[in-house]
Amino acid sequence: MKFDLGSRKKIVIKIGSSLLVENASVREEWLKSLASDISELLSKNIEIVIVSSGAIALGKSFLKSKNKKLSLEEKQAAAAIGQIQLMSFYRDFFKKHNLDVAQILLTASDCNSRQRYLNSKNTIETLLKNHLIPIINENDTVAVDEIKIGDNDRLAARVAQMISADLLILFSDIDGLYDKNPKTNKDAKLISEVEKITKEIEEMASGAVSEVGTGGMITKIKAAKMASTASCDTIITNGLVKNPLQKLLNGKQNYTIFHSEKNLATSRKNWLSGFLNAKGEVVVNSCARDALLSKKISLLPIGVTKIIGQFEKGEAIFIKDEDGNHIASGISNYSSSDAKKIIGKNSKEVKDIFGKVKVEIIHIDNMVVIE
């Protein structure tokens, strides 16, 4: 099925390690074909941002470790080595098409801090205005497991939110989303379009990972869900072939497209919808959950059953139901210690404790529903 770009003018492309690296070396012919594809898109005044894995996969062969599984310190060292190589290949192959690239390394902290998020957004948009191609990766040399973004599918979705992209393309080693795992079920059927990501859709996704990558289909589904909240459609398609973009646009490539929610969310709510690794959580009862999902109201203390973690007033936190489902994110009006004092209390009781205060734990203007 041929894919029509239509009016889309800003695209984020995610490239995984398994596509870019084979036996600790870059797949040069593949990267050359990708550069050719991107050159053609740029000639049509389409802005391109690339989120690329591959640094650790390229750098680990330089280490003398005999362990198959690298320690955190070895991963960080491999990333430091491999990132130089990775950018050298991008620079050299794209330069043959008179294209210039720029490197940006991000951490979860860069995405979570509102000011650093805006700084990153401004940097990317300035590069695009100057006709450069931002190549973005997680800064694995400094990130530790507890605060890592974790996979570049989510990072790519975060970048798509950040710059208000029209389309997110997640290249994979599979054609798209199937109703069953196609590697183990011959009768598996490709789902070409998804209007809304439901729990049933998420359950279809496999958690399998590639030899050099960190994400499976489920991470791509979650990334598509993140992008959807910012009115960005997502495509999952096989990127192993040469000229993967050209084949996608010419109808020679299968794919799954996830249609986004077309909304007018503010930049602030886009930032909240993709918030990563919050310091704290509030757990709500079923009545509060239903009210948040259906009525889109502020979160009051009376609906809260538990406070998890430590956070300060003004920090972003997660809202979860009693089954552990992440249903919303928002900016807390209370620190975790103060929030614990008003769990389950009505507005009058809150004012009796703290006086004249904002009774909502999270106001609707500072909240975004995820589910």
The string of pLDDT tens digits covering residues 263-280 is 656 677 788 888 777 889
Backbone angles phi, psi at 257, to 5 degrees: -110, 130
Q: What is the pTM assigned to this prediction? A: 0.85
Structure tokens at 98: 């008179």
Tell me which of 269, 301, 322 is where a domain ends.
269
**What average pLDDT does range 298-306 have in this prediction?**
95
What pLDDT does residue 46 have?
Answer: 95
- The SS3 of residue 348 is helix
Please, which residues have CB within 8 angstroms of residue 336's CB and are 6 or more apart in sequence?
280, 307, 309, 310, 311, 312
Tell me which of 245, 269, 293 is where a domain ends.
269
**What average pLDDT does range 175-204 have in this prediction?**
86
Q: Are 343 and 304 in contact (CB under 8 A)?
A: yes
- In total, how many domains does the chain have? 2
pLDDT tens readout for residues 123-181? 999 999 999 999 999 887 876 655 567 688 999 999 999 999 999 999 988 889 998 87
Q: Does residue 41 lie within any of the structural domains?
A: yes
Structure tokens at 344: 């389950």
Tell me which of 236, 269, 302 is where a domain ends.
269
pLDDT band for position 210 (50/70/90)? very low
Q: Express as a percent the part of the chain with pLDDT over 70.
A: 94
Q: Express as a percent the part of the chain with pLDDT over 90.
A: 58
**What average pLDDT does range 313-342 have in this prediction?**
93
Pure H helices in 205-326: 217-228, 244-249, 267-273, 286-294
- Rounded CA-CA distance 122/162 in Å is 9
Asked if pLDDT for residue 333 goes beyond 90, the answer is yes
Asked if pLDDT for residue 252 goes beyond 50, the answer is yes
At 333, which CATH number? 2.30.130.10
What pLDDT does residue 163 have?
Answer: 94
- The SS3 of residue 324 is coil
Exposure on the CB side of residue 68, measured as CA atoms within 13 A: 2
Taking all residues of the chain, what is their mean pLDDT, rounded to a whole number? 88
319 and 282 together in one domain: yes
291 and 254 together in one domain: no
100 and 207 together in one domain: yes
At 264, which CATH number? 3.40.1160.10
What pLDDT does residue 144 have?
Answer: 60
259 and 361 together in one domain: no
Measured in whole angstroms, the distance separating CA 283 from the mean position of its chain's CA atoms is: 24
Q: Are 346 and 319 in contact (CB under 8 A)?
A: no
Q: Does residue 22 lie within any of the structural domains?
A: yes
85 and 121 together in one domain: yes
Q: Are 279 and 310 in contact (CB under 8 A)?
A: yes
238 and 305 together in one domain: no
Sheet holding 167-172, edge to edge: 100-106, 132-138, 47-52, 10-15, 167-172, 233-238, 255-258, 193-194
Q: Does residue 305 lie within any of the structural domains?
A: yes
191 and 129 together in one domain: yes
The range of the structural domain enclosing residue 296 comes to 278-369
Count the Cβ atoms, other than its own, within 10 Å of residue 341: 14
pLDDT band for position 248 (50/70/90)? very high
What pLDDT does residue 208 have?
Answer: 44
Question: Which of 83-92, 109-118, 278-287 has the weakest average pLDDT?
Answer: 109-118
